[in-house]
């Protein structure tokens, strides 16, 4: 969820040679989608494995004749960057347990159901990355230094395609596998305030096909803490659900983040309140590609910048500035 710490692109203008760092996705500090549900168009960067997981539990009611209520479970979202900076592969697995209720004149608890409720493999690709003007070094004009860059109104754009596999628990199983697709938008209005917008088509071709939107506003208070507020709408064949959520994330170090969130469903047919706790950790094997060119722009040689071992960085608390 943190976006305020993107790696600086270094450019050294020399008389004979120049060095260009190719780095569109990777960030020095971990960038997680948790605890929100929306997804950024940006990937984790090449040779980075990131694991985002957590548990959730809640209380819910439903007007359906046979309803699954009081959810409890866990989710793991695995992200992997390979081949190019703009491309990311990912997988999402959710295990869920619900109380099964029969609603007639009285609501009757008739047992519990459990199993995998979601298993999705997919990939996303950054189509367009918005560039901003850095006015922070403008010293001649306070107005220019503090002026809002109107290009920030135009979002960066990514696309996601995936497949819902059907190796699920009996209570959550679909009739067949189904595709999932999304358009991912990100507006960096400031270095601290980011707006994500996702437009999603899920379980296409099934009776449970769903068209959704997710809008998430994230604000970084400082280098440690960020907060989010989220609104989600799900448009199913027979009903429409709306959710609101809020929560916070705490950055332990550059490769580890903890989070917590609460959510409520605003639907007339169903009502629920869900709490989630989680963490994000990454195995960082990313190497910045350094391309050295001569004064005519011809490549001279390539170097790789090395990272320290991940064991030494995993639980090393970041330095305070």
Query: Residue 181 above 70 pLDDT?
Result: yes
- Angle in degrees, CA 124, 127, 132, rounded to 5: 120
What CA dihedral angle connects 34, 36, 39 and 40, to 10 degrees? -80
Q: What is the mean pLDDT of residues 100-110?
A: 66
Q: What is the pLDDT of residue 267?
A: 74
| pLDDT tens per residue, range 221-278 | 998 999 999 999 999 888 888 999 999 999 999 999 999 999 998 876 677 899 999 9
Query: Residue 129 above 80 pLDDT?
Result: yes
Does some domain include residue 4?
no
| pLDDT tens per residue, range 77-100 | 999 999 999 999 999 999 999 888
Does some domain include residue 6?
no
Does some domain include residue 321?
no
Longest CA span, the chain: 84
CB atoms within 10 A of CB 139: 8
Q: Are 1 and 50 in contact (CB under 8 A)?
A: no
| pLDDT tens per residue, range 262-306 | 999 887 667 789 999 999 999 988 787 655 555 555 555 555 444
Mean pLDDT of the chain: 82
Residue 20, φ and ψ in degrees, nearest 5: -120, 130
Q: How many domains does the chain have?
A: 1
Q: Are strands 107-128 and 87-103 parallel, antiparallel or unpaired?
A: antiparallel
Structure token pair of residue 54: 């957590």
Better-predicted residue by pLDDT, 299 or 188: 188
Does some domain include residue 207?
yes
Q: What is the mean pLDDT of residues 104-122?
A: 81
| pLDDT tens per residue, range 135-167 | 766 667 777 777 788 889 999 999 999 999 999
Range in 14-18, 43-47, 264-268, 306-310 with the lowest mean pLDDT: 14-18
Q: What is the pLDDT of residue 47?
A: 92
Q: What is the pLDDT of residue 132?
A: 79
Task: Give me the domain span that covers residue 118.
Answer: 11-314
Q: What CATH number should be reported for the domain holding residue 209?
A: 2.40.160.40
Does some domain include residue 320?
no
Better-predicted residue by pLDDT, 144 or 4: 144
> What percent of the chain shows pLDDT beyond 70?
75
Q: What is the pLDDT of residue 297?
A: 55
Q: What is the pLDDT of residue 238?
A: 82
Does some domain include residue 303?
yes
Query: Residue 213 above 70 pLDDT?
Result: yes
Residue 74, φ and ψ in degrees, nearest 5: -145, 155
Query: Residue 115 above 90 pLDDT?
Result: yes
| Buried b or exposed e, range 225-260, using 16+ CB within 10 angstroms | ebebebebebeeeeeebebebbbebebbbbbbbbbb
- Is-cis flag, bond preceding 161, omega within 30? no
Q: How far apart are CA 252 and CA 298, in angstroms?
A: 42
Count Cα neighbours of 321 within 13 Å in the Cβ-side half-sphere: 3
Q: What is the pLDDT of residue 66?
A: 60
Query: Residue 16 above 60 pLDDT?
Result: no
Query: Residue 53 above 60 pLDDT?
Result: yes
Q: What is the pLDDT of residue 229?
A: 97
- Hey, which bits of the chain come out as E strands? 11-13, 17-22, 48-62, 66-81, 87-103, 107-128, 156-164, 178-188, 193-202, 210-220, 225-235, 240-253, 256-265, 270-284, 289-294, 299-304
Count Cα neighbours of 295 within 13 Å in the Cβ-side half-sphere: 3
The 8-class DSSP code of residue 299 comes to E
Q: What is the pLDDT of residue 52?
A: 98
Does some domain include residue 194?
yes
């Amino acid at each position: 969820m943190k976006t305020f710490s993107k790696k600086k692109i270094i450019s050294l203008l020399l008389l004979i040679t120049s060095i260009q760092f190719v780095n569109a996705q990777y960030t020095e500090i971990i960038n997680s989608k948790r605890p929100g549900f929306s997804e950024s168009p940006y990937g984790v960067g090449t040779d980075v494995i990131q694991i985002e997981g957590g548990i959730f539990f809640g209380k819910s009611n439903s007007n359906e004749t046979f309803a699954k209520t009081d959810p409890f479970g866990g989710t793991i979202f695995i992200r992997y960057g390979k081949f190019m900076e703009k491309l990311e592969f990912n997988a999402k697995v959710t295990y869920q347990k619900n109380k099964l209720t029969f609603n007639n004149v009285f609501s009757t608890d008739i047992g519990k159901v459990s199993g995998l409720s979601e298993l999705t493999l997919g990939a996303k690709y950054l189509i367009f990355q918005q560039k901003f003007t850095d006015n922070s070094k403008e010293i001649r004009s306070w107005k220019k230094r503090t002026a809002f860059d109107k290009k920030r109104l135009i979002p960066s754009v990514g696309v996601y395609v995936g497949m819902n596999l059907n190796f699920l628990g009996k209570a959550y199983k679909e009739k067949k596998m189904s595709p999932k697709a999304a358009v991912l938008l990100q507006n960096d209005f400031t270095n601290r305030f980011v707006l994500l917008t996702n437009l999603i088509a899920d379980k296409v071709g099934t009776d449970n096909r769903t068209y959704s939107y997710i809008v998430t506003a994230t604000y970084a208070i400082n280098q440690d803490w960020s907060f989010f507020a989220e609104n989600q709408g799900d448009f199913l064949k027979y009903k429409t659900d709306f959710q609101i959520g809020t929560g916070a994330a705490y950055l332990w170090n550059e490769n580890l983040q903890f989070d917590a969130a609460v959510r409520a469903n605003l639907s007339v047919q169903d009502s629920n309140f869900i709490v989630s706790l989680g963490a994000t950790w990454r195995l960082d094997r990313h190497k910045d590609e350094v391309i050295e060119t001569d004064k005519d722009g011809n490549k001279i040689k390539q170097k790789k910048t090395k990272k320290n071992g991940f064991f030494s960085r995993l639980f090393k608390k970041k330095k305070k500035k």
